[in-house]
Structure 1
């Protein structure tokens, strides 16, 4: 199937059929939420780890392995509890929320009702799903498939560590094999080594070498590659890289350089004339200008939009997705960092459709039960548990 036809079951006809969700059902949902008032909001630190040390990318040094994040936990006066990744807001904002009806804070049909509640976007969606006894993706309309492609986003500059005794390119192959054994079939390979860690020409040569080597090593296992330069390339670098890996199919080329109308069009035109017409050009992850990215989508210059699931916002994505569907542009909300964002994005995909693939971040945690999101042969299935289906154990 051609990449350009990725919209699969989220066609205009399918979407139109679901737009007319029963207003009576939405009214009933709001009435149910109105029966609950916010009684308490607390913040907890949650520990999680990646399965191995994650190294550099083209811009950042070693990402590490063991991390913490803040979770917002929201309790109602009827003993319902929802939670989600968050950050601590300015003092006083949580005081304004206490005593409010849940229906004053979130509408199941559209999301949070006040942009100031951005820090509670996930927690309130989780809470609403739990009160209504339905998974978040159903609250969003269940417009997409329950199964989605899931790629490993675990970086792959592993040849550079440890600093005093670099492991070499065999370590990259070893870690790719681990991810394939875990269940992934798509691997996103970071490139752009010449941006910071290598001399320019050597970095570009190594980018080409490692992508070819991964393809040649694992092509019999059905691996599909994505590449991400984290804005470290020029147009000339991007074309030289693609020429260097000619014959290696790519699902997408992410962030070759900062979003730029003329440069992106130049690269995309070259790709379409040189055997990469089915490779998506994806951008909009790092410090994006969402309005400009939407312009590029409407002009069919960008093929996939990648704003971050958390910093851009779950509710913001609910508003953006129909616009992307309208102009035939794919979505893959950026989820790097933790599995929490991966699971949130899986609900966006199953709820709204139009996600061409999802960023998988493999995590372990003693503080969280990540829920039922099985990964098999490269596809992940959304949880049917209420809310986001994850349990806080601390």
Structure 2
């Protein structure tokens, strides 16, 4: 099932149609009270804005993509009601603001959103995350409480910002592997106790043999320098199976928390990888589903016990999609870790989702600053991210 169909499926269904037609019916107690309060707000505007995200350091290459730079401009959606309530969040990829406006403006919030389900108007998916924030602010609840958790489960959070910065020219000279250790120390001082190392230097940026050697060197150095931290590795589909075996042999003795997307996933190759890990006595998690995910195929991998952690990006299937997916992952005994690369805006939003639903092994941390956004009172303590208890996602726009 492709992304658009999947979003429509998880956002729709008989319950959603019933709620859309009868927003104040079918619930009792707190549910009906929330619906009544949301029904007092009519959506006036669906706005698109751009906010500038800055990273604390230059972010270099991964196995397939060039330098990521100092930051980027993120597209966000803001929903405004006739009473002046505002909610915002990152948008869903592949959906349009025009479609959302056509199907949301003029409707009561309760007609398009239910705290118990999420989005109930599939064609408003562009504003899915913004509507969660809006409902939380109207109801004066953090999003995790909106989804039923009085206190969220704190989630382990890894640093997702360890790229190939050793290959970035600095005054016409490579910076070398020491820069990776300095960056890990910087992130350690921020509170991270897990580091995800990008690997696959030999895919595009170095000769293959030299790239594998450098990947091995970096992995071993970080593991030795930070013995109290977990090491995750991410090949971004740039590491053929035969080369990945060489890498694994080269880091013998280093415990990997997870292996993420070493190569483009197939049943055959992942079966071989599972067998290789068993033969080498390596106990680790296999994480996949970030890059252009085919949800039907990912389901096949999970049912075959070839995938341990589901990574689809929060901007791909949205909050409502993930809320539908979470129970399925629990049934399949697969962990969740909604992909959040890009900015802390996404990391913070994911923290509420995983805090409410649990079953999450770790989430991606992307440290950033922004003059356009107040990122709220989230705390990273001893490797765990504690969500804001302010209404909605607890983040505010400064523009």
Compute the TM-score of the two structures, normalised by the length of structure 2.
0.89
C-alpha deviations, 1:300-356, integer Å up to 9, x for none?
110111000112211110011100000100010110011111011101111111110
Q: Secondary structure at the match of 2:317?
A: coil
Contact 2:147–2:356 under 8 Å retained in 1 = yes
Query: Structure 2 CA distance, aligned partners of 1:94 and 1:295?
Result: 36
In structure 2, relative to structure 1, the CA distance for the partners of 1:250 and 1:31 (3 Å cut) is same
Q: What is the CA distance between 1:118 and its match in structure 2?
A: 1.6
Contact 2:153 2:358 in 1 (8 A): no
Q: Which moved more, 1:139-148 or 1:103-112?
A: 139-148
Deviations 1:357-379 (A, max 9, x none): 01000000111111111001111
8 Å contact kept, 1:148–1:381: yes
Answer yes or no: is 1:312 the counterpart of 2:317. Answer: yes
Tell me what 1:181 maps to.
189
Match of 2:155 in 1: 148
1:1-394 pair list within 5 angstroms:
23-86=28-91, 89=96, 91=98, 93-142=100-149, 145-162=152-169, 164-219=172-227, 222-277=228-283, 279-394=284-399
Q: Which moved more, 1:223-232 or 1:138-147?
A: 138-147
Q: Partners in 2 of 1:382 and 1:23 — Cα distance? A: 29
> Would you say the 8 A contact 2:63–2:203 is kept in 1?
yes
Two-structure CA RMSD over aligned residues (Å)? 1.8
Q: How far apart, CA to CA, are the structure 1 residues paired with 2:292 and 2:100?
A: 26
Distance 1:98 1:33 in 2: 14
* Change beyond 3 A, Cα 1:96–1:322: closer
Q: Which sections of structure 2, spanning at least 5 residues, go unmatched? A: 1-26
SS of the residue 2:71 aligns to: strand
Secondary structure in structure 1 of the residue aligned to 2:277: helix
The answer to whether the Cα contact below 8 Å between 2:79 and 2:130 also exists between their aligned partners in 1 is yes
Shift of 1:145: 4.6
Cα 1:289–1:96 change in 2 (3 A) is closer
Q: For 1:210, what is the secondary structure of its paired residue?
A: helix
**CA-CA distance at 1:23 after TM superposition:** 4.6
Q: How far apart in 2 are the matches of 1:66 and 1:337?
A: 8
SS in 1 for 2:296: helix
Separation of aligned partners in 1, 2:326 and 2:98: 33
Q: How many Å separate the matches in 1 of 2:103 and 2:158? A: 40
The ranges of structure 1 where at least 4 consecutive aligned residues each deviate by more than 6 angstroms after the TM superposition are none
CA 1:198–1:92 in structure 2 vs 1: closer, same or farther (change >3 Å)?
closer
Q: Contact (CA 8 Å) 2:236, 2:260: kept in 1 or not?
A: yes
CA shift, 1:92, in A, is 6.0
Q: Greater CA deviation, 321-330 or 104-113?
A: 104-113
Deviation at 1:142, TM superposition (A): 2.0
Deviation, 1:95, is 4.0
Per mean C-alpha deviation after superposition, the further-off stretch among 116-125 and 266-275 is 266-275
Residue-by-residue CA offset, 1:170-222 (whole Å, 9 max, x unaligned) = 11111111111111010000001111111111111111111001111221xx1
CA distance in 1, matches of 2:289, 2:147: 23
For residue 72 of structure 1, report the CA deviation from its aligned partner: 1.6
The count of aligned residue pairs is: 371
Counterpart contact for 1:51–1:362, Cα < 8 Å: yes
TM-score, normalised relative to structure 1: 0.90
